[in-house]
Structure 1
Amino acid sequence: MTGKLPRLFVLLLIALGAFLAIPEPALAHAATVGSSPAPGSVVGASPTEVTVTFSETITPVAGRIQVVAPDGERISGLATARGAVLHIPVRTAKRPLGTYLISFRVISADSHPVGGAITFSVGAPSARPEATSTIETDATVRAAVPALRFLGYAGITLVVGPLMFLLFLWPRRRARTGGIRLVRIGLALTVVATLGALGTQAQQGSGAALWQVSAAELGEVATSRFGLLLLARLAILLVLAALLHPLLSEQRRPHESPARQPDESEQPGPHEERSREPGGKRARRTYPQRILILVLGIAALATWPLTGHAIAAPLPAVTVTVGVVHLAAMGIWIGGLITLLGVLLRGTDRRVLRVLLPVWSRWAALSVIWLALAGLVQAAVQVGTPEALVRTGYGRLLLAKLGVLVLVLAAAAVARRLVSRSAAGAGLRRTIGIEVAATAVILAMSAVLVQVDPGRTAGAQAGAVTGNGVSETLTSPLYTLQFNIYPVELGEYNTVHAFLYTPEGKPLPPAEWQISTQLAGQGLEAVKEPLLGLDPPHHALGSISFPLPGTYEIAFTIRVDDLNRATVKTTVTVPPKA
């Protein structure tokens, strides 16, 4: 055992390193599904307000939302959110004609940052303006967030599993120091992870490095829904620590020595705690206290799904409840394994273990059943469709996690057989060591998984608007043409806006508009499409089709009067569907 456990932990460290090397997870669980003015559209006058609509409720990040005018001037006021809609007031720009940029950074319902940019034009398209800053999540924050999640999950397991042993299964004559130490370490890890989550939330929104955070930003986080839930978790943990201290530190009778092992007749049933006072007064006195601990523990566990994917899912009441069950079952199972491996399997009399281990084995089996059922419900809601299991990063990581879980269950089955044979020696310790190492990998995968877009959002992300399109200016001796095509994708619905000017830059109403498209290198004929003249008369609107991916030649043929016409050409590339 002593020779193989270090190798197991080396493998564990390698696995954790592999997870840290996974490409940056998509920290955007809400997708932009629309805006007003529409992405890539051309409007006749500068709006007084622009809106961006998302696939779920969002919270704006102060100072990270702006509307930039064609000349680079920032013209936006204080942004507000109403549900899934971001409202941004704007003032009239000094030079209102041209292309505007909406740059935004918001926090989605599951506490992850969402950033992006959308363009629209007033009068006629122009060169796309640049935002005053480009916001991306800093590398230090990207590394810290899953690490803190892992610490939080580790803390849960070191509180729940050892605590269940101490309250219900601990051998009466075995020193409780090791179990109490595990619980205290678990509480400390959970507090550190919670404080870390509070301390990194602002940087996820601002794009700053891990250490670059102000008191004002921390105050905004603390008063947000996310911050209030984490502060509630800290308060519950403090109350739990106060309640657990006297309960876990019960003094043994003076003549009982931790080192002395019980006689055959002294062995207690591990599932029952013998009263040390006449009439079971101690058990009756601690019963309400244990109920209170159970209720507070459930409330603390609920803060995890309430700040994650579960709260943004289509059935939040179901997914939050299932999330609590999943965390509790995980804590009992993995935390119990750690308690056995780290404390009880060494130094406990074999006769006591013959009583304790079968009871624990039943507890573990029930925990695994509940863990599997909760995981199945979570997967059904979060993945969305069977295709998302293999087509999305979330689904593939979930399958990998399931594969490791199968290996763990195989090791658990071996451990159950060893328990049934009363083989509580090196073979059992080795098997449980494998379970602990593999379940630590599962915790690491879970920490990464919560940072990845759920499979159910794949459709929203695929259909998210980006403001991408083609805007260009073409010239001929007769005229200057400005045009915009949006969104430049396969299909029939690619909108064209065209604006005609004299070579000197004055609006030029033409006698006739026409546009044609031809797929290059395929020997196909050009497809001609009409453009409809609008008011003002130098503006035309139309729609073109891109039936196949590839490079298309776009030709505008414009007759400026009865005798004069000219054709200008350019190319656009249409990507295949993802």
Structure 2
Amino acid sequence: MSVAAAAGGSVGGRTSPVRRLLALALVLALLLAGGRALAHASLVHAEPANASVLAQAPANATLLFNEDVTPTRIELVDADGHASAPPAVHAEGATLTVQLPALGQGSHALAWHVVSADGHPVSGVLAFSIGTPGVAPSAGATAAHMPRTLAAAIWLARVAVYLGLFFGVGGVFFRAWVADGAQNPGRPPPAVGVALFIGLAGVCLAPGLQGADMLGLDAARGLSAQAWRTGAASPYGLTLALAAAALLLAGLTRHLPGRGAARAVSLLALACTGLALAASGHASTAPPQWATRPAVWLHGVAATLWLGALLPLAQALRRGDTAALRTLARFSRWIVYPLVVLVGAGVLLASVQLGRPGALLTTDYGRVLALKLALVAALLLLAAWHRWQLTGAVLQGQTGAARRLRRSIAVEAVLVLAVLAVVGLWRFTPPPRALAQAAQAADSPQVLRLHGARAMAELRLSPARVGPVSITAAIDDGASDALAAQAVQFTLSNPAAGIASLRADAQPLSDGRWRAPAVLVPVAGLWDVRVDILLDEFTQLSLQGSVRIQR
């Protein structure tokens, strides 16, 4: 049974608008998720630095992120592409310390997979060399590119959970607290029961799909016990556990005698719904959490009160008795207050996530939010028409008014489905807040350590982005004694971009370092860096390495 049909019949006898909206949202999910890593936490510092050349093998590798992370899979890849697990991995907040085995000369890659505090998997590769740079390890398989079938399955599971919480739990709460004259207040309409069942199905499938994403598996492997346990142990697992509690409590009300017990259990289910939405996700992990988590809870509870009323209200209008009219009048009086809370909390959360108004149209997250806002605006206009036009007509007994209101509620339910489908896309779109933090990390100096037989140079590139880059080098003899150089020159090349060399003469600083203040780097990508050190008329040393320049 479709939600629109359960709410009072399909509009014009057709369900094609629902199918078109769901199909459109599914296509958007595939386009947003396919072919790229879905970063929500950002790596802000690594030791050793990416693309650095070390004289000796490090005992540990340290990764610092912009928010707390939980490691799910860490692999060390050698030059032949052989992957092995490190001896130990220690996570403390936003810092990940990886104990490394004894490493030989040449290039190595540390492939890391973590789950950020908002419950989303993130991955990357840290490459470094010991002694002299060798052939870069092939770690392409370790980079997280979500299969489109997995992205679609994750999106469908999320929408199913939303359906269960908003239509199912909300419908049970409305039946227990607002509906008038019900013989069994705890027994919801059949469509509400279907919504609860769909939500429970989504809750059961979502941990495995989340685990498959975390482990780099496909959608089919999301049914495995390993994937399910991995997803359940993630921050999103707490959300799913609370959602399951809300759905089961809502389902329990149908077996409770009397309105008092049904009201108590449905109130607890409503509270669990808000807690589930606030337990993980973009908004709930945004600072300041003392404001964002309660705002998410209020936003979720207000939405549940509003949306959960649609199906029971449509059923009551179909009866058309005096109790149905009392239910409609009561709903019309109190629904204004949840809507005010819904809008207020939504404005706060949107402002925190966007950071600046321009992000509404210049980022994927902002465009999804803009689409959601357009649909919600249509919903609010429809709700206003219901309250100030159709409700009065129904209560006055005008002919055909109840039928028009039922059909309008069906349209409202279709719009709600579209909103939930769009909200599910946020799983694949990092908020501008996180993008700004990643950009800030890219603006911080990148450190590159180059080693040779007679010299070592520590280079700082600031910022490591396209455009003017300041390069500063501290040069010593490898034993921490300063090296007396007569001249220093930096050479950058990017063969993949067809750039043979960019040369910059460094100037000496008062503290013994050398700096080229504005080297214009035209394109992003992996650049080869060479430092030529002139010691005297007959002696010149060269050190080489690589650095990644961001856009």
Query: TM-score normalised to the size of structure 2?
Result: 0.78
- The reply on whether 1:49 has 2:26 as its aligned counterpart is no
Tell me how far apart the structure 2 counterparts of residues 3 and 218 of structure 1 sit (CA, whole Å): 37
Equivalent position of 2:338 in the other structure:
367
Alpha carbons 1:313, 1:381 under 8 Å: kept: yes
Equivalent position of 1:111 in the other structure:
119
Equivalent position of 1:201 in the other structure:
210
Equivalent position of 1:27 in the other structure:
38
Task: Please list the CA deviations of residues 318-355 of structure 1 after superposition, one character each: whole Å capped at 9, or x if unmatched.
Answer: 322222222222122122123333x2222323x55543
Tell me how far apart the structure 2 counterparts of residues 196 and 466 of structure 1 sit (CA, whole Å): 40
- The reply on whether 1:13 has 2:19 as its aligned counterpart is yes
Tell me how far apart the structure 1 counterparts of residues 150 and 444 of structure 2 sit (CA, whole Å): 28
Tell me how far apart the structure 1 counterparts of residues 70 and 492 of structure 2 sit (CA, whole Å): 45
Change (3 A) 1:353 1:493: same
Tell me how far apart the structure 1 counterparts of residues 114 and 66 of structure 2 sit (CA, whole Å): 12
1:125-144 equivalences in 2 (<5 Å): 125-131=133-139, 133-136=141-144, 137-144=146-153
Change (3 A) 1:494 1:141: farther
Equivalent position of 1:318 in the other structure:
291
* CA apart distance, 1:155: 0.8
Tell me how far apart the structure 1 counterparts of residues 47 and 532 of structure 2 sit (CA, whole Å): 31
Alpha carbons 2:274, 2:300 under 8 Å: kept: yes
Secondary structure of 1:21 counterpart: helix
Amino acid aligned to 2:356 = T
Task: Please list the CA deviations of residues 113-139 of structure 1 after superposition, one character each: whole Å capped at 9, or x if unmatched.
Answer: 000112233334333222283342232
Tell me how far apart the structure 1 counterparts of residues 444 and 157 of structure 2 sit (CA, whole Å): 35
Alpha carbons 1:138, 1:207 under 8 Å: kept: no
* CA apart distance, 1:488: 5.9
- The reply on whether 1:346 has 2:304 as its aligned counterpart is no
| 560-569 or 201-210, which deviates more | 560-569
Tell me how far apart the structure 1 counterparts of residues 433 and 343 of structure 2 sit (CA, whole Å): 20
Task: Please list the CA deviations of residues 453-500 of structure 1 after superposition, one character each: whole Å capped at 9, or x if unmatched.
Answer: 1221121222456999999x9xxxxxxxx9999646323334679999
Amino acid aligned to 2:386 = A
Q: 1:515 aligns with which of 489, 492, 503?
A: 489
Equivalent position of 1:426 in the other structure:
403
Alpha carbons 1:161, 1:331 under 8 Å: kept: yes
Tell me how far apart the structure 2 counterparts of residues 107 and 3 of structure 1 sit (CA, whole Å): 42
- The reply on whether 1:191 has 2:191 as its aligned counterpart is no
Secondary structure of 2:206 counterpart: helix
* CA apart distance, 1:150: 0.8
Tell me how far apart the structure 1 counterparts of residues 513 and 137 of structure 2 sit (CA, whole Å): 23
1:171-186 equivalences in 2 (<5 Å): 171-172=180-181, 179-186=188-195
Change (3 A) 1:513 1:43: farther
Amino acid aligned to 1:205 = M
Amino acid aligned to 2:378 = L
Task: Provide the aligned length of Structure 1 versus Structure 2.
Answer: 507
* CA apart distance, 1:188: 1.3
Tell me how far apart the structure 2 counterparts of residues 108 and 193 of structure 1 sit (CA, whole Å): 22
Amino acid aligned to 1:330 = A
Structure 2: stretches of 5+ with no match in the other structure: 1-7, 451-456, 478-482
Amino acid aligned to 1:32 = L
Tell me how far apart the structure 1 counterparts of residues 329 and 371 of structure 2 sit (CA, whole Å): 31
Equivalent position of 2:506 in the other structure:
529
* CA apart distance, 1:399: 1.9
Equivalent position of 2:453 in the other structure:
none
Change (3 A) 1:511 1:526: closer
- The reply on whether 1:154 has 2:163 as its aligned counterpart is yes
Equivalent position of 2:454 in the other structure:
none
Change (3 A) 1:43 1:497: farther
Change (3 A) 1:114 1:10: same
* CA apart distance, 1:316: 2.6
Change (3 A) 1:78 1:452: same
- The reply on whether 1:335 has 2:308 as its aligned counterpart is yes
- The reply on whether 1:459 has 2:431 as its aligned counterpart is no
Tell me how far apart the structure 1 counterparts of residues 446 and 430 of structure 2 sit (CA, whole Å): 25
* CA apart distance, 1:411: 1.5
Change (3 A) 1:54 1:495: same
Change (3 A) 1:368 1:245: same
Tell me how far apart the structure 2 counterparts of residues 496 and 130 of structure 1 sit (CA, whole Å): 30
Change (3 A) 1:310 1:60: same
* CA apart distance, 1:86: 1.0
Amino acid aligned to 1:108 = S
Query: TM-score normalised to the size of structure 1?
Result: 0.75
| 428-437 or 231-240, which deviates more | 231-240
Tell me how far apart the structure 2 counterparts of residues 114 and 518 of structure 1 sit (CA, whole Å): 30
Task: Please list the CA deviations of residues 376-424 of structure 1 after superposition, one character each: whole Å capped at 9, or x if unmatched.
Answer: 2221222233343333221221122111111111112222212123343
Identical-pair percentage: 27
Equivalent position of 2:3 in the other structure:
none
- The reply on whether 1:88 has 2:88 as its aligned counterpart is no
- The reply on whether 1:410 has 2:387 as its aligned counterpart is no
Alpha carbons 1:109, 1:311 under 8 Å: kept: no
Tell me how far apart the structure 2 counterparts of residues 179 and 243 of structure 1 sit (CA, whole Å): 9
Tell me how far apart the structure 2 counterparts of residues 554 and 389 of structure 1 sit (CA, whole Å): 38
Equivalent position of 2:280 in the other structure:
307
| 303-312 or 106-115, which deviates more | 303-312
Change (3 A) 1:163 1:121: same
Equivalent position of 1:441 in the other structure:
418
Q: 2:221 aligns with which of 203, 208, 212?
A: 212
Secondary structure of 2:40 counterpart: coil
Equivalent position of 2:4 in the other structure:
none
* CA apart distance, 1:293: 3.5
Alpha carbons 1:28, 1:114 under 8 Å: kept: yes
Secondary structure of 1:170 counterpart: coil
Change (3 A) 1:326 1:438: same
* CA apart distance, 1:58: 0.8
Change (3 A) 1:178 1:488: closer
Alpha carbons 1:32, 1:465 under 8 Å: kept: no
Tell me how far apart the structure 1 counterparts of residues 296 and 390 of structure 2 sit (CA, whole Å): 32
* CA apart distance, 1:425: 3.2
Alpha carbons 1:28, 1:453 under 8 Å: kept: yes
1:269-308 equivalences in 2 (<5 Å): 286-287=259-260, 290-308=263-281
Equivalent position of 1:278 in the other structure:
none
